[in-house]
Chains A and B, each alone.
Chain A
């Protein structure tokens, strides 16, 4: 599998190991991860639950610190959260005390060098981009799960981060809403040329969205295999070619696991 040269990659993980001191003792969440993410690449981390996907994303976000190895963004160590790497979380991380527009403005207000008018304009633009222009004043509880995740997407896009990190953003949604969002995400990805790292346990989703799919296996979380996905965009989740590739990856994973399909769709 081709490994991009260091110079053209934006995010570089070198021998990354992370352990947690949980109640069951020391757990190695991820071990010896080496990975490069190129500028403008859509990378998907896939694997059964517990293989350290969220941990990796937390490390990339700077919310957690590596125990061994290093993570660099454009050559600089990632040591704390930063606006250049925004996260869209698995569950509802919208603030329930703010309406949709205010939620999007939260990050924009923390971004220096903008006027209030520019911030509001940007917030409206992204709300419109995710198709919720008419929901400005709605509070999170007044929105459906899919709408909430759309607002969350707009919130993480609005401050224009260089890297977008997404932790199973679609896992709590029904299949129809999910399919719509696959379309939306791809549209935004091609239009705005972001670097995206997405985490999922859904292999089809991974193949549908990723330029590259990194397969992880648990105990401890390690990279098993990396797949290049060369299908043209926009991709549809029901595409047979996509299903074939997904089956290949599922087989690869099964070969790596003692209990083949646990935690997988």
Chain B
């Protein structure tokens, strides 16, 4: 008989949690420094009940989504432009390559000075985190579309806009998706940095909750929020990027 694939990791996870609980309870460590899973669970439960966790998660997710969508919406056409024109590639392309290597946390001071401690600043940081990776990914994947596809499409009468929407983008899609995924990861990190280091007056996000946990020396809260942050990242991958990537691989026969 075949055991379901999820069973083993769940069992291992429970084993680790159990060991951890036992370790903390046995008094070998100070539970202020190392909270037991049940303590984290308690924090989790209470902050769920009073709504702080849900509202902080919502605030953070809204910022992330909005910034990511704006970043992608800016990055995709710019990347396409860079693939199309060598002038754009030598200017915007090079600039993007440089800025992509800049840790996106570095945008936080710029954003605060330019916009103040508000939503615009957070959005700016997220957009800057997303956009360069997307530009580079779109540029590279469009440039590596097989010329044969273009030649075939052109003989069938495809030109301009039609060529872009029906050949270039579909052909470049796998590369574009992995660029978006990278952009998403950068955006997520820069957003956390912004929320942790700066008091954003316009909304209390997960990063702020983490920061508050530090101020209060509440390790259970700190670890709890970290777990939520991990969960959000994992979920984005599981319900958004992975299915798209799997579908792409399957429909093009790249799986196995």
Contacts and interface: CB of A to CB of B under 8 A. Distances in A.
Contact of B156 (A83, A97, A98, A140): A83
Given A96-B253, A97-B251, A86 B167 contact: no
Interface in A66-122: 81-83, 85-87, 89, 91-93, 95-98, 106-107, 110-111
Given A93-B148, A93-B149, A139-B251, A85 B166 contact: no
A106 B156 contact: yes
Interface residues of A, number: 28
Given A93-B149, A139-B252, A81 B155 contact: yes
A116 to B, nearest CB: 16
A106 B251 contact: no
B153 A106 contact: yes
A85 B157 CA distance: 10
Contact of B253 (A89, A140, A159): A140
Contact of A159 (B149, B156, B162, B254): B156
Interface in B152-183: 152-158, 162, 166-167, 170-171, 173
B155 A95 contact: no
B156 A93 contact: no
Contacts of B162: 110
Contact of A93 (B152, B166, B173, B254): B152
Interface string B238-256: 0000000000000111100
Contact of A82 (B149, B157, B252): B157
Interface residues of B, number: 20
Contacts of A257: none
A63 B167 contact: no
Contact of A81 (B149, B154, B166): B154
Interface in B180-221: none
A141 interface: yes
A103 to B, nearest CB: 10
A142 B252 CA distance: 9
A92 B152 CA distance: 10
B151 interface: yes
Contacts of A111: 157
B157 A83 contact: yes
A97 B173 contact: yes
A106 B166 contact: yes
Contacts of B254: 141
Contact of A139 (B153, B158, B253): B253
B148 A95 contact: no
A86 B155 contact: yes
Nearest to A103: B152
Contacts of A98: 170
What are the nearest 3 A-B pairs in CB distance?
A141-B253, A107-B156, A110-B157
18 contacts: A63-B151, A81-B154, A83-B157, A87-B151, A87-B155, A89-B151, A89-B152, A92-B148, A93-B152, A95-B167, A96-B253, A106-B158, A107-B156, A139-B252, A139-B253, A140-B253, A141-B253, A141-B254
Given A83-B155, A110-B158, 5 more contacts: A62-B155, A93-B148, A95-B149, A110-B156, A139-B253
